[in-house]
Amino acid sequence: MSGWLADPGVLLAQAERRRALAERGDLAGLARAVMEAAARNGSMTGPGPEAMAWLRQLPDGDRLELARTWAQWHRDPEAERTGDIALRDVSYFRAELLVVATGIARDLDPDLLADERRAQLAATAGEYVASGHREWELADAEIAAGRTPGPTVLAAFRRTVLDYHDEPALRDVLTRFPGPVLNPGDAWADQALEDAARGGEAWQQLLAHRAPVSASTPSAAWRRTGRGLLDTAGAEQVRRHVLRWFGLVGRQRSVPLRGWYGPHAYDPYNIHSLRALAWLLSLLPSSEDTCDGLAQLVWTTLDGAAALGRNPVRVAEAAVTALARIGGETARLELKGLREHITDKHVLRRIDRALAALGG
């Protein structure tokens, strides 16, 4: 049942109407009923996930006829905008036609509206989140056709699931959507992906060892896995590369993001990988350059944080945690320097706890 519709009884009534039309063999009426439901229910529900599943169980010939009817309406929408469909403007109607037509025909006619589908996915790739008309269903149709969309499209859906975490259809599509371990677009992530491609599987696994979203410190199990990855990739090589990546954090993005909260300097999907990299450095022997790199990461991620969209304060907190775990005089001095100038109250509390543990 859709989580976007307050009254589930609406979907049940729509389902009864669809079944009655199908039993009478009235495909023209069924085509209209589905699109009227899409107009009524809102763009994040459309006909509803149960409706789409039911439509895909119809005989192949009926599915193709419905899909081709909707494709014709997509080409010439004005003539069909009567009744409930007229509640929405043309762009809304065409967006729903694209999603629903390609959704039920995806394993029968992969080229139906394929150009239009790819154009919409290309537009989605530049969005902070996909908040239009269930664009992940368009991606699913392309994947089923053997044309997996590019990593910037995947990146948009990864960001979307962070906001729409209760959308099971989106999570399901992501299980079939291969792509890089980081979202491209952040300068540091682009470099990390390039370096990992040269380094091989060990480096891919290291980048995939993300920090759990809800964890404030690395668990014993997380640390054990991290140490194994450091041993395999080479601890000193990891240190050099990670400090290089930290130097690129906050640089201009190669893939600008538009949408919610204004422009974005950080990809929220990558933030938990940055946190993990800070924690990984805390598993290595203490060194001056490591402590300096972690302190600089705090400064970088807090600089102008209010203008960065989704606030990357958790990266700064992870860097402070790493300094506290490293310990020693160098780490203590870096923390004291941060304490004198940092104003974010959450990070300050973490610094104070770290300094207390290190003897002030």
Per-residue pLDDT reduced to its tens digit, 204-246: 999 999 999 889 999 999 999 999 999 999 999 999 999 999 9
The answer to whether 121 and 135 are in contact (CB under 8 A) is yes
CA distance 106 to 63: 10
Give the model's pLDDT for residue 148. Answer: 96
Position 348 pLDDT exceeds 50: yes
Q: Which helix (H) or strand (E) holds 94?
A: helix 90-104
* Confidence label for 307 from pLDDT (cuts 50, 70 and 90): very low
136, 170 in Cβ contact below 8 A?
yes
pLDDT value at 39 more than 80: yes
Centre a 10 Å sphere on the Cβ of residue 223 and count the other Cβ atoms it contains.
16
What is the mean pLDDT of the segment spanning 17-41? 96
Confidence of residue 4 (pLDDT cuts 50, 70, 90): low
pLDDT of residue 2: 55
pLDDT at 160 over 50: yes
> How far is residue 355's CA from residue 359's CA, in Å, rounded to a whole number?
6
Predicted confidence at residue 309, as pLDDT, reads 43
* pLDDT, position 261: 53
* Tokens representing residue 108 in the block: 């029968």
Write down the pLDDT at residue 359. 82
The alpha-carbon radius of gyration of the chain (Å, integer) is 25
231-284 tens-digit pLDDT: 999 999 999 999 999 999 988 889 888 876 545 678 989 999 999 999 999 999
CB 74 within 8 A of CB 105: no
Nearest partner of 126 among 250, 308, 271, 255, judged by Cα = 255
For the segment 333-352, the average pLDDT, to the nearest whole number, is 92
Q: How confident is the model at residue 311 (pLDDT cuts 50, 70, 90)?
A: low
Query: What pLDDT is attached to residue 242?
Result: 98
> Whole-angstrom Cα distance, residue 200 to residue 192?
12
| Mean pLDDT across 171-180 | 95
pLDDT of residue 308: 46
